[in-house]
């Protein structure tokens, strides 16, 4: 089967990102210039975003290995925005880094391309290819400041555990292939039929383990806090936003499409995992005194909430997933953005201990306002986007009558409040005479600072007037469900 | 549009206060005071212009009668509107909010010296949220404001509060307050959504509108579960005894303005929620649940009173008396006769004045003595100018002395509840004895007995005198002439009573002044 011109056009965003990556590589070979490379990267990503708008009018389209449908475009937009945000943060963060700075953007672009492939994949081959293309550059990004012990540790840890998860994923794919003789999702669906059988179920379960690892679903969550803590700010931001959005999208696709994942046994397992993930993530976050670790655990809990949507898996759940992913991504970008800005420019390990943030309000009121808004949003308080996300999750649970899940969401949120409030109040306490790190004086006029402010405003605006977001997501989910 | 402005004014005023801090510490105070004054004046203007006793129980059988209404679509996907409406009950409570808001600003005039602008931002945003709660009749919007007002309150306690003895830090108290109310609020959200989805299953359309959802037909058990969700959220805020744990800590650790807001207004949002939502939406379930609720009320009366007797911290003592007083309110609400409901309104207003008065007094004592520990007080009568005299007035009000509004509220509640639940009334009446005990204990320990030192403390200045005098005036005014209050809320209470479905007592005619 050959590609037609329309199909090639539909892949334009992906092609643009890849082209930018090659361009960056050549530019680095020619001459190193940090700001230039960062600008070039941002321009490439912006072009890809613009191209998305064009592709929107052509969708839905299917190529042999990728589906350019509403879901793919939606998550592509999220991934590209997250990548852009990471670019701006990386520029601030790496400004005074001693080693080579430009390669970070190369890795970032490769990972972005991987994310785009992954979220559009309708074939196990592209799924695997995309997943590895996201993960491989991330090893490098996490260990980028390799003279820091923790950064190196984060990179290596992610590498080793990720490899183990990949082995599970491949084994699962192999089992599904052995059972059906197909690798594309549609073929899997028809091959498995209604009666899934033991091997099909085992294959699906193993794939679930592999993907669950990337999403840090309990009990595959052990790596998350360490990697978040050790990795440099921009890399951790990318891991927490773009990579997770891409993996969740493909998981959603699998679960919605394939009967193997809708088998009731697997469904119950998913439900138990969701409850465990919410509770464990929130409980473990309570005792943390390191903001990045705390955010790591909180992201575990958030994916617990999101799994609810997968478990229920009916009409409203695509919409709920979409809304929740948008709010989660904005909020996480804001929170990690502030941490990265406080740690910028690079000066050893990141400023992540909570006491670094004590009394931040009296020095940096607007930056503190951003962090406060994101914390409130994560806790799901009204007037922030996070509330709309949580509203959807609770609504979904209530509509489906899954009271255990609803109860767990409520218990999780109550526990979650405890640590979000702790972070928040720390920001406003009187300053202690402790050693502290601070954002540069002119943070607000730099790209990273602007990005963070825009994100905070968006969180508030979408919290007060969510109708546009909801309408957008509905169009996407309508397109996907046909 | 006026209704929207009522909500927006405090929010805008708060932002102005925050920005005005750069011109010194006085401008935020004046702006905050002016904002609340405008709020109060608008409300009073509405009060004098509007007709609030037109819709009476008999005539308003079809549609709900609102004096003012404002509605725009908000989230069409779920049929959520920004739907605000005003009736007599919300009007009285908003006026109360405006007045106590001014007092809260005034009583922190000298107390708060750090970060004045940010303090007033939080203070005004609480008040804005409360006004929103009183006006919203879209359930989503109601929940929105209900949860939103917690955040500034949290900051108020956590940042400007007092740290008490070890293990009772202000941050801990604030966190406790927040988690209690937020977690119970989520239960209410689940109930709201449950109601909406039942309605959706019946009719095929989403709506969060109060009047629409009221028509929903529910099975008996569903109604009970949904009602419980609402009840728990309101019970935590009221507070009802097993879920009251946050209140004493929050009160003791909060700054004076925070205590005034908590006791005066925030507790009232819970009673308002019961009257506006829990009872009308689930009349049968509430009726079935009434004995349990009244039992909880009686327990609250005794529990609060007995624990109040054992407190050393003055503000904790007052906090426990609030629990006792709210027990009466709970009994009145679930008795559901018009007379009892009228009593509930009077009681809410009276308690707001007397508790605010006592909290402000303890704040003033703290400013002079630097302690709230009653073991270090004693013999202060005669050393504090006119402060002990005012204390006596509020203590008398708090124990329900005839002539004060509190007496009238408690009397109406007990009188109105007697035909429905005589047993509960008889038991609850003994609460008065305990009320006298703790009130007199408070007077005795603080002002009489051997003096702990020599010298005279500063008398009340003009600002403090004015606050106290206006509060005493209002307590006496509504104690001696409550008719305007009863007239204003009569229609709204009649509506609740009609929905709740209890046979109206003939005595109501006597009080509402109907021919």
Residues of chain A contacting B147 with CB distance shorter than 8 Å: 381-382, 387
Most confident residue range from A198-207, A228-237, A344-353: A228-237
| pLDDT beyond 70 at B510 | no
Three-state secondary structure call for residue B354:
helix
| pLDDT beyond 70 at A71 | yes
In a domain, A391, yes or no: yes
Most confident residue range from A310-314, B15-19, B52-56: B15-19
How does strand A61-62 pair with strand B80-86? unpaired
Whole-number Å distance between alpha carbons of A100 and A111:
19
How confident is residue A262, by pLDDT bands cut at 50, 70 and 90?
A: low
Enumerate residues 6+ apart whose C-beta is below 8 A from A26. Answer: none
Q: Is-contact B318 B441, C-beta < 8 A?
A: no
In a domain, A358, yes or no: yes
Residues of chain B contacting A466 with CB distance shorter than 8 Å: 75
DSSP string, A72-136: HHHHHHHHHHHHHHHHHHHHHHTTT-SS--THHHHHHHHHHHHHHHHHHB-BHHHHHHHHHHHHH
Cα–chain-centroid distance for residue A171? 25
Which pTM does this prediction carry?
Answer: 0.90
Q: Is-contact B189 B208, C-beta < 8 A?
A: no
Q: Is-contact B151 B56, C-beta < 8 A?
A: no
Residue environment code for A21-30, b if the CB has 16+ CB neighbours within 10 A, otherwise e: bebbbebbee
Angle between helix B139-148 and helix B116-135 axes, rounded to 10 deg: 160
Residue-level pLDDT at A199: 86
Question: Chains A, B: CB contacts under 8 A, how many?
Answer: 75
Residue-level pLDDT at A446: 79
Three-state secondary structure call for residue B82:
strand
Residues of chain A contacting B119 with CB distance shorter than 8 Å: none
Residue-level pLDDT at B228: 92
Residues of chain B contacting A411 with CB distance shorter than 8 Å: 183
Residues of chain A contacting B154 with CB distance shorter than 8 Å: 421, 425
Whole-number Å distance between alpha carbons of A470 and A451:
23
> How much is the average pLDDT of B390-413?
90
In a domain, A164, yes or no: no
In a domain, A1, yes or no: no
Q: Is-contact A317 A309, C-beta < 8 A?
A: yes
DSSP string, A18-48: HHHHHHHHHHHHH---HHHHHHHHHHHHHHH
Percent of chain A with pLDDT over 70: 95
| Cβ separation A410–B183 shorter than 8 A | yes
**For an interface test with B, which of A322, A405, A417, A430 has the most B Cβ atoms less than 10 Å from its Cβ?**
A417
Q: Closest by alpha carbon to A377, among A429, A321, A426, A335?
A: A335
> How much is the average pLDDT of B210-236?
89
Q: Closest by alpha carbon to A80, among A116, A130, A36, A120?
A: A116
The domain of A466 spans 263-482
**For an interface test with B, which of A312, A393, A395 has the most B Cβ atoms less than 10 Å from its Cβ?**
A395
How confident is residue B56, by pLDDT bands cut at 50, 70 and 90?
A: very low
| Cβ separation A382–B147 shorter than 8 A | yes
| pLDDT beyond 80 at B508 | no
Of A376, A399, A414, the CB nearest to B197: A399
Residue-level pLDDT at A227: 93
Least confident among A320-324, B12-16, B375-379: B375-379
**For an interface test with A, which of B76, B139, B142, B144 has the most A Cβ atoms less than 10 Å from its Cβ?**
B144
Residue-level pLDDT at A159: 94
Q: Which helix (H) or strand (E) holds B73?
A: strand B68-75
Residues of chain B contacting A381 with CB distance shorter than 8 Å: 147-148, 150-151, 182
Q: Is-contact A402 A311, C-beta < 8 A?
A: yes
CB < 8 Å from A in window 32-91 of B: 74-77
How confident is residue B64, by pLDDT bands cut at 50, 70 and 90?
A: low
**For an interface test with A, which of B11, B14, B193, B236 has the most A Cβ atoms less than 10 Å from its Cβ?**
B193
Residue B116 tokens, joined: 């004045």
Whole-number Å distance between alpha carbons of B388 and B65:
46
Residues of chain A contacting B183 with CB distance shorter than 8 Å: 410-411, 413-414, 417
| Cβ separation B148–A381 shorter than 8 A | yes
Enumerate residues 6+ apart whose C-beta is below 8 A from A248. Answer: A215, A303, A306, A321, A325
> How much is the average pLDDT of B154-158?
89
CB < 8 Å from A in window 165-224 of B: 171, 174-175, 178-179, 182-183, 186-187, 189-190, 193-194, 197
> How much is the average pLDDT of B304-328?
90
Three-state secondary structure call for residue A348:
coil
Least confident among A1-15, A129-143, B11-25: A1-15
Q: Is-contact A95 A346, C-beta < 8 A?
A: yes
Distance (Å) from the alpha carbon of B218 to chain A's nearest alpha carbon: 15
CA distances from residue A451 to A37, A232, A338, B369, B405 in whole angstroms, order as listed: 18, 18, 10, 51, 56
Whole-number Å distance between alpha carbons of A8 and A6:
5
**In the Cβ-directed half-sphere of B508, how many Cα atoms lie within 13 Å?**
28
Residues of chain B contacting A376 with CB distance shorter than 8 Å: 151
Whole-number Å distance between alpha carbons of A243 and A82:
9
In a domain, A479, yes or no: yes
Residue-level pLDDT at B195: 92
How does strand A61-62 pair with strand A67-68? antiparallel
Of A383, A417, A466, the CB nearest to B179: A417
| pLDDT beyond 60 at B167 | no
> How much is the average pLDDT of B106-124?
87
Residue-level pLDDT at A259: 63
| Cβ separation B194–A398 shorter than 8 A | yes
Q: Is-contact B218 B198, C-beta < 8 A?
A: yes
A100, A105, A111, A115: CA torsion to nearest 10:
170
Of B74, B151, B183, the CB nearest to A381: B151
Q: Is-contact B3 B91, C-beta < 8 A?
A: no
In a domain, A78, yes or no: no
Enumerate the H helices of A343-446 as residue ranges.
365-379, 385-400, 403-428
**In the Cβ-directed half-sphere of A349, how many Cα atoms lie within 13 Å?**
18
| pLDDT beyond 90 at B110 | no
Whole-number Å distance between alpha carbons of A269 and A172:
17
| pLDDT beyond 70 at B507 | no
In a domain, A291, yes or no: yes
Residue-level pLDDT at A433: 55
Residue-level pLDDT at B511: 47
Number of H helices, E strands in chain B: 23, 2
Mean model confidence pLDDT for chain B = 86
User: Domain tally for chain A?
Assistant: 1
Name the residue in chain A with its Cα closest to that of B80: A467
**In the Cβ-directed half-sphere of B500, how many Cα atoms lie within 13 Å?**
30
Number of H helices, E strands in chain A: 20, 2
Sequence length of chain B is 515
Cα–chain-centroid distance for residue A278? 17
Enumerate residues 6+ apart whose C-beta is below 8 A from A312. Answer: A396, A397, A400, A402, A405
Residues of chain A contacting B194 with CB distance shorter than 8 Å: 398
Whole-number Å distance between alpha carbons of B363 and B366:
5
Residues of chain A contacting B149 with CB distance shorter than 8 Å: none
How confident is residue A481, by pLDDT bands cut at 50, 70 and 90?
A: low
| pLDDT beyond 50 at A258 | yes
Residue-level pLDDT at A149: 86
Strand partners, B68: B86
Whole-number Å distance between alpha carbons of A67 and B324:
65
| Cβ separation B186–A421 shorter than 8 A | no
Q: Is-contact B327 B430, C-beta < 8 A?
A: no
In a domain, A246, yes or no: no
Three-state secondary structure call for residue A177:
helix
| pLDDT beyond 50 at B59 | no
How confident is residue B57, by pLDDT bands cut at 50, 70 and 90?
A: very low
| Cβ separation B75–A470 shorter than 8 A | yes
Residue B512 tokens, joined: 């509402």
Give the model confidence (pLDDT) of A334-368 as tens digits. 999 999 988 877 777 778 888 888 888 878 888 88
How confident is residue B326, by pLDDT bands cut at 50, 70 and 90?
A: very high
Enumerate the H helices of B161-241 as residue ranges.
170-203, 210-214, 220-237
Tell me, what DSSP letter sits at residue B136? Answer: B
Residue-level pLDDT at B164: 62
Residue-level pLDDT at A282: 93
Of A406, A417, A429, the CB nearest to B182: A417
Distance (Å) from the alpha carbon of B336 to chain A's nearest alpha carbon: 31
Residues of chain B contacting A421 with CB distance shorter than 8 Å: 154, 174-175, 178
């Amino acid at each position: 089967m050959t590609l037609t011109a329309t199909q090639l056009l539909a892949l334009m965003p992906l092609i643009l990102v890849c082209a930018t990556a090659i361009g960056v590589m050549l530019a680095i070979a020619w001459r190193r210039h940090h700001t230039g490379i960062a600008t070039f990267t941002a321009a490439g990503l912006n072009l890809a975003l613009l191209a998305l708008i064009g592709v929107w009018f052509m969708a839905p389209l299917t190529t042999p290995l990728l589906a350019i449908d509403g879901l793919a475009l939606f998550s592509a937009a999220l991934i590209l925005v997250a990548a852009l945000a990471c670019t701006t943060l990386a520029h601030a963060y790496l400004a005074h880094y001693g080693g080579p700075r430009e390669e970070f953007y190369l890795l970032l672009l490769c990972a972005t391309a991987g994310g785009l492939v992954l979220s559009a994949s309708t074939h196990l081959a592209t799924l695997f290819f995309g997943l590895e293309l996201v993960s491989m550059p991330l090893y490098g990004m996490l260990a980028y400041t390799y003279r820091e012990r923790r950064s190196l540790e984060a990179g290596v840890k992610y590498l080793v555990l990720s490899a183990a998860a990949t082995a599970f994923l491949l084994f699962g794919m192999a089992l599904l292939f052995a059972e059906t003789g197909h690798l594309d999702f549609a073929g899997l669906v028809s091959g498995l039929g209604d009666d899934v059988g033991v091997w099909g179920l085992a294959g699906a379960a193993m794939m679930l383990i592999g993907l669950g690892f990337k999403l840090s679903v309990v009990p595959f969550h052990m790596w998350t806090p360490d990697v978040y803590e050790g990795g440099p700010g921009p890399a951790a931001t990318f891991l927490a936003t773009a990579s997770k959005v891409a993996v969740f999208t493909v998981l959603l696709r699998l679960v919605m499409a394939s009967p193997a994942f809708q088998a009731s046994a697997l469904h119950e397992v998913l439900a138990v995992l969701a409850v465990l993930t919410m509770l464990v993530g929130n409980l473990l976050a309570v005792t943390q005194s390191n903001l990045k670790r705390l955010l790591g655990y909180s992201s575990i809990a958030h994916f617990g909430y999101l799994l609810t949507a997968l478990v229920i898996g009916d009409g409203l759940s695509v919409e709920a997933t979409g809304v929740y992913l948008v709010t989660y991504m904005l909020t996480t970008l804001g929170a990690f953005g502030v941490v990265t800005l406080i740690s910028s420019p690079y000066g050893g390990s990141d400023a992540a201990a909570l006491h670094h943030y004590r009394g931040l309000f009296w020095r940096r009121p607007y930056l503190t306002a951003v962090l406060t808004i994101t914390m409130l949003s994560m806790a799901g308080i009204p007037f922030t986007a996070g509330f709309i996300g949580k509203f959807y999750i609770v609504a979904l649970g209530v509509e489906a009558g899954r009271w255990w899940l609803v109860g767990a969401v409520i218990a999780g949120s109550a526990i979650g409040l405890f640590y979000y409030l702790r972070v928040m109040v720390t920001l406003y306490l009187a300053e202690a005479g402790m050693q502290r790190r601070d954002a540069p004086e002119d943070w607000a006029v730099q790209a990273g600072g602007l990005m963070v402010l825009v994100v905070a405003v968006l969180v508030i605006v979408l919290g007060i007037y969510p109708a546009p977001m909801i309408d957008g997501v509905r169009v996407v989910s309508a397109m996907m469900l046909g | 549009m006026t209704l929207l402005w009522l909500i927006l004014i405090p929010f805008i005023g708060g932002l102005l206060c925050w920005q005005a801090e750069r011109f010194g510490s006085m401008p935020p105070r004046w702006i905050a005071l002016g904002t609340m004054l405008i709020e109060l004046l608008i409300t009073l203007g509405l009060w004098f212009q509007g007709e609030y006793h037109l819709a009476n129980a008999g005539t308003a059988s079809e549609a709900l009668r609102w004096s003012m209404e404002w509605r725009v679509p908000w989230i069409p996907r779920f049929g959520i509107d920004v739907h605000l409406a005003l009736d007599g009950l919300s009007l009285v409570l908003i006026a109360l909010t405006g007045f106590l808001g001014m007092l809260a600003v005034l009583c922190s005039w000298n107390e708060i010296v750090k970060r004045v602008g940010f303090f007033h931002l939080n203070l005004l945003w609480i008040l804005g949220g409360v006004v929103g709660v009183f006006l919203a009749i879209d359930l989503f919007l109601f929940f929105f404001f209900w949860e939103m007002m917690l955040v500034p309150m949290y900051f108020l306690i956590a940042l400007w509060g007092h740290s008490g003895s070890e293990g009772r830090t202000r941050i801990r108290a604030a966190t406790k307050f927040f988690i209690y109310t937020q977690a119970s609020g989520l239960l209410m959200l689940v109930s709201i959504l449950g109601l909406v989805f039942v309605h959706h299953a019946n009719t095929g359309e989403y709506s969060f509108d109060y009047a629409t959802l009221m028509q929903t037909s529910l099975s008996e058990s569903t109604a009970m579960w949904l009602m419980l969700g609402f009840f728990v959220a309101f019970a935590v805020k009221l507070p009802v005894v097993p879920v009251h744990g946050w209140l004493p800590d929050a009160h003791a650790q909060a700054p004076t303005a925070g205590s005034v807001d908590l006791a005066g207004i925030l507790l009232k949002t819970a009673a308002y929620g019961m009257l506006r939502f829990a009872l009308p939406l689930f009349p049968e379930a509430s009726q079935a649940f009434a004995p349990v609720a009244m039992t909880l009320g009686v327990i609250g009366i005794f529990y609060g009173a007995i624990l109040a007797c054992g407190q050393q911290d003055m503000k904790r003592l007052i906090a426990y008396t609030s629990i006792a007083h709210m027990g009466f309110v709970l009994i009145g609400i679930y008795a559901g006769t018009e007379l009892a409901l009228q009593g509930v309104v009077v009681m809410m207003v009276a308690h707001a004045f007397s508790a605010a008065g006592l909290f402000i007094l303890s704040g003033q004592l703290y400013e002079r003595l630097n302690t709230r520990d009653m073991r270090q007080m004693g013999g202060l009568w005669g050393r504090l100018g006119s402060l002990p005299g005012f204390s006596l007035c509020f203590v008398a009000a708090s124990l329900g002395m005839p002539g004060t509004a509190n007496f009238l509220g408690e009397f109406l509640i007990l009188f109105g509840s007697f035909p429905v639940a005589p047993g509960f009334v008889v038991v609850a009446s003994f609460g008065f004895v305990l009320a006298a005990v703790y009130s007199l204990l408070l007077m005795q320990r603080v002002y009489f007995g051997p003096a702990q030192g020599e010298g005279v403390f500063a008398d009340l200045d003009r600002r403090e005198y004015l606050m106290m005098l206006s509060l005493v005036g209002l307590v006496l005014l509504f104690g001696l002439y409550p008719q305007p209050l009863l007239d204003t809320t009569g229609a709204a209470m009649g509506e609740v009573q009609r929905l709740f479905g209890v046979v109206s007592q003939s005595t109501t005619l006597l009080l509402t002044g109907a021919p």
